[in-house]
Amino acid sequence: MMAASLKVGSELRSAPREMTRERMRWYVDAQPTVAADNGRIQTQEPTIHDDDDYARKQGLPGIIADGMISTNWIMGLLLDTFGPDFARKGKLRTKYIAPIYEDQVVISCARVTAVEKVDGATAYRLEVWSEDDTAKKLTVGEAIAYVRAHDPEKCPPVFGQDHAQG
């Protein structure tokens, strides 16, 4: 759906994604790997996100996803909808209200709650959440996406199109 067609009440939904062990493990290992910057995958001490025994000792039935994964998936939905404008100036705040378990299906969602003009841009206020395949909310929050009016005279031409006047 294009941002310009959104109005109050419009709802966005991502395709369902399965929270696999591999996705969970990758996220846990990504942070120390990036910090080490030595070309090797780094691991950390056991956590509730990557070690079933450790998670069970903490009272969980098994590993759970790091909450930032669902936030990133919501952000992906917003980037797909609002494009680079969201990356430049958008805001996203989330709260994790239920654990996401291995192999659980997750769907990222957003609903437009307000549309207003702000400093030459259209501001879309959104309620955002992720839910499982039974519609149970897992992550909730809010976002603001600012979309600038694009001036075709200032935008570079699309590859393969000639915008020259004849």
As a whole number of angstroms, the distance between CA 44 and CA 4 comes to 44
What would the two tokens of residue 9 be?
Answer: 């009440």
pTM exceeding the 0.75 threshold for the entire prediction: yes
Q: What is the dihedral of CA 140, 20, 35, 70, to 10 degrees?
A: -10
Vertex 97, ends 51 and 136: CA angle to 5°? Answer: 100
Domains along the sequence of the chain with CATH: 8-148 (3.10.129.10)
**What is the pLDDT at residue 150?**
61
Q: Is the CB of residue 130 less than 8 Å from the CB of residue 107?
A: yes
pLDDT one-digit tens code per residue, 59-103: 999 999 999 999 999 999 999 999 988 998 999 999 999 999 999
